[in-house]
């Protein structure tokens, strides 16, 4: 049997990993600017966490979750998302007891058994923030500002993006809205796909997530959640819109946007790319004011978002193809002769301790071949031959200009950066 990676789970090879590292660095730095601290929950959780948090009737839990028993028969899941995990950790470690707002962020792999396609994998990576402890619409605005800011920071212009925004109200508003949806879809039951007929009984809100062409007409005519908001949810939403206006952040009201997860309340949003085709959502989020309580903690509102790393990498590499040939080293050490090689190994160790990215040939290449590797991988070649050894020197060759200079080893090592511009 030929061993290959599992369908929908891919290797991120070194040339692409460079872009991932840059993005992860930008994301961490930006989250820190907004006062978020990293949390790293485990990848495996009790399956029940997601059944209760994300919702039994969601596609994520109902169809896509990787669930398996451990050796004692406890049902575990590979996490399909991280909000439920972060909230579990928040409750388990009593983070609410500090009486402060908890601002947490995470980065890491998630797992969903979906149909793999462009922008959709079975193992994918999310970055996300969660702010727990305040109902202030200014926090919703901050999270949306952070989402826009992140895209600007990684180099995506506002023109190529749009924000879909909606409010789906609180749990008091939900029964009336759910009944309105149930009445609407029951009357058009015959038009709905088999999944939506099930959703009609379980949670008609989930019908609004359906992508099946046959359901779209009924969905387009469905009642809008904005028409079912209580005065407090309406005021919250209006304040959010006004704050977004103050911050100059564009949005498009989308009455169909409910997001495929049960825990959302009030604000929901998605930041989408015009360049991605069907899977256009770069990130999505909203409020989840009941989730902490549902998972066994004290009533605590929350708001956050999660974005897909793969989709960010996709838009960015569509614009600027990955450069596999980019030099990755400052210096390539090229010894000539066995004695010089011993000295070169010592030089290499010292250079690396001084923060210089350096390497040499381990494949017994000829001088000519070693120089061609140097030209491809590094900015400078450091040549060590019998003459250099005898004089305690090395030859520094600038591989861009072709210029060489002879330096004393001691002088060079005292401050190599001064010579490696
Ligand atoms: P969700 O957790 O479903 O709200 O998704 C948040 C974001 O994660 C989406 O906007 C996507 O960017 C990304 N995402 C979700 N599912 C996948 C997947 N199967 N493959 C790649 N990215 C995904």
Which pLDDT tens digit goes with each residue over 334-360? Answer: 999 999 999 999 999 999 999 999 999
CA 80 to ligand 1 centroid distance, Å: 9
CB of 110 within 6 A of ligand 1: the answer is no
Cα separation, 409 vs 395, whole angstroms: 9
Does residue 121 have its Cβ closer than 6 Å to ligand 1? yes
Span 200-211, average pLDDT: 89
The alpha carbon of 127 and the centre of ligand 1 are apart by a number of angstroms equal to: 10
Q: CA 306 to CA 106: how far, in whole Å?
A: 9
Q: Which atom of ligand 1 is nearest to the CA of 114?
A: 19
Q: Is the CB of 81 under 6 A from ligand 1?
A: yes
pLDDT of residue 260: 79
pLDDT(299) > 90: yes
What digits encode the pLDDT tens for the residues 381-398? 999 999 999 999 999 999
> Sorting pLDDT into bands at 50, 70 and 90, what band is 325?
confident
Sheet order of strands, 67-69 included: 44-46, 75-78, 67-69
Q: Which long-range contacts (CB under 8 A, 24 or more apart) does 55-59 make?
A: 55/203, 55/261, 55/262, 55/263, 56/202, 57/199, 57/202, 57/203, 57/206, 57/262, 58/206, 58/260, 58/261, 58/262, 59/206, 59/209, 59/260
Any ligand 1 atom below 6 A from CB of 151 = no
pLDDT for 185 equals 95
**DSSP summary character for residue 158:** G
* Ligand 1 centroid to residue 283 C-alpha, Å: 7
pLDDT at residue 318, as a whole number: 86
Q: Sorting pLDDT into bands at 50, 70 and 90, what band is 259?
A: confident
pLDDT at 256: 87
- pLDDT value at position 383? 98
Q: What CA–CA distance (Å, rounded) separates 292 from 290?
A: 6
pLDDT of residue 193: 94
Residue among 127, 311, 315 to mutate when testing ligand 1 (max atoms within 8 A of CB): 311
Please state the atom number of ligand 1 nearest to the C-alpha of residue 270: 10
Measure the CA–CA gap between 151 and 160, rounded to whole angstroms.
Answer: 10
Task: Output the average pLDDT for the chain.
Answer: 95
Ordered domains of the chain (ranges, CATH): 14-173+229-319 (3.30.930.10), 329-419 (3.40.50.800)
Evaluate if residue 324 carries a pLDDT over 80.
no
| Region 267-288 average pLDDT | 93
| Closest C-alpha to ligand 1, atom 23 | 308
pLDDT of residue 374: 97
In the structure, what pLDDT confidence band is assigned to residue 169 with cuts at 50, 70 and 90?
very high
Q: What is the pLDDT of residues 105-145, one digit of tens each?
A: 999 999 999 999 989 999 999 999 999 999 999 999 999 99
Indicate the top mutation candidate among 258, 262, 284 to test ligand 1's pocket, ranked by most ligand atoms within 8 A of CB: 284
pLDDT in tens, 64-116: 999 999 999 999 999 999 999 999 999 999 998 878 899 999 999 999 999 99
What percent of the chain is predicted at pLDDT more than 90? 86
Cα 9 to ligand 1 centroid, rounded to whole Å: 14
What does the alpha-carbon distance between residue 107 and residue 128 come to, in Å, rounded to a whole number? Answer: 7
* CB of 58 closer than 6 angstroms to any ligand 1 atom: no
Determine the residue of 7, 80, 126, 313 to mutate for testing ligand 1's pocket, defined as the one with the most ligand atoms within 8 A of the Cβ atom: 126
pLDDT band of residue 258 (cuts 50, 70, 90) is confident
What pLDDT sits at residue 98? Answer: 76
Percent of the chain clearing pLDDT 70 (strictly above): 100
pLDDT at residue 322 greater than cutoff 80: no
Predicted confidence band of residue 276 (pLDDT cuts 50, 70, 90): confident
- In terms of C-beta density within 10 A (0-12 exposed, 13-18 middle, 19 or more buried), how is residue 316 classed? middle
* pLDDT reported for residue 8: 97
310 in ligand 1 pocket by Cβ < 6 Å? Answer: yes
Instruction: Note the residue count of the chain.
Output: 421
* 5 DSSP assignment: P
Q: In this predicted model, what pLDDT tens digit does every residue of 19-57 receive, in sequence order?
A: 999 999 999 999 999 999 999 999 999 999 999 999 988
pLDDT at 400: 94
């Amino acid at each position: 049997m030929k061993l290959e990676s599992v369908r929908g789970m891919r290797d991120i090879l070194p040339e692409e990993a460079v872009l991932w590292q840059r993005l992860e660095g930008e994301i961490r730095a930006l989250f820190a600017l907004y006062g978020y601290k990293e949390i790293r929950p485990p990848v495996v959780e009790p399956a029940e966490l997601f059944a209760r948090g994300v919702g039994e009737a969601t596609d994520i839990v109902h169809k896509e979750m990787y669930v398996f028993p451990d050796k004692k028969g406890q049902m575990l899941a590979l996490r399909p998302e991280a909000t439920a995990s972060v909230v579990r950790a928040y409750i388990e470690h009593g983070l609410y007891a500090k009486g402060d707002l908890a601002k947490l962020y995470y980065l890491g792999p998630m797992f969903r058994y979906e149909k793999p396609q462009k922008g959709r994998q079975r193992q994918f990576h999310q970055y996300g923030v969660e702010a727990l402890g305040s109902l202030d619409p200014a926090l919703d605005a901050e999270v949306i500002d952070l989402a826009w800011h992140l895209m600007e920071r990684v180099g995506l212009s506002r023109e190529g993006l749009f924000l879909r925004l909606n409010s789906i109200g609180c749990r008091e508003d939900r029964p009336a809205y759910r009944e309105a949806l149930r009445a609407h879809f029951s009357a058009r039951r015959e038009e709905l796909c088999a999944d939506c007929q099930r959703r009609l009984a379980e949670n008609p809100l989930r019908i609004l997530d359906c992508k099946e062409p046959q359901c779209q007409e009924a969905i387009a005519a469905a009642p809008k959640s904005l028409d079912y908001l209580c005065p407090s949810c309406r005021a919250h939403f209006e304040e959010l819109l006004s704050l977004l206006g103050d911050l100059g952040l564009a949005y498009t009201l989308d009455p169909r946007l409910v997001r495929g997860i049960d825990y959302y309340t009030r604000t929901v949003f998605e930041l989408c790319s015009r360049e991605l085709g069907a899977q256009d959502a770069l990130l999505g989020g909203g409020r989840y004011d009941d989730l902490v309580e549902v998972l066994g903690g004290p009533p605590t509102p929350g708001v956050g978002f999660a974005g897909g790393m793969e989709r960010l990498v996709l838009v960015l590499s569509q614009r600027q193809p990955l450069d596999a040939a980019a030099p990755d080293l400052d210096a390539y050490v090229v010894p000539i002769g066995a004695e010089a090689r011993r000295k070169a190994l010592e030089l290499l160790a010292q250079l690396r301790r001084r923060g210089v990215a350096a390497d040499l040939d381990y494949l017994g290449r000829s001088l000519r071949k070693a120089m061609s590797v140097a030209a491809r991988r590094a900015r400078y070649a450091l040549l060590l031959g019998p003459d250099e050894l005898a004089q305690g020197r090395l030859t520094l060759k600038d591989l861009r200009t072709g210029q060489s200079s002879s330096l004393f080893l001691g002088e060079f090592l005292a401050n190599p950066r001064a010579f490696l511009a």
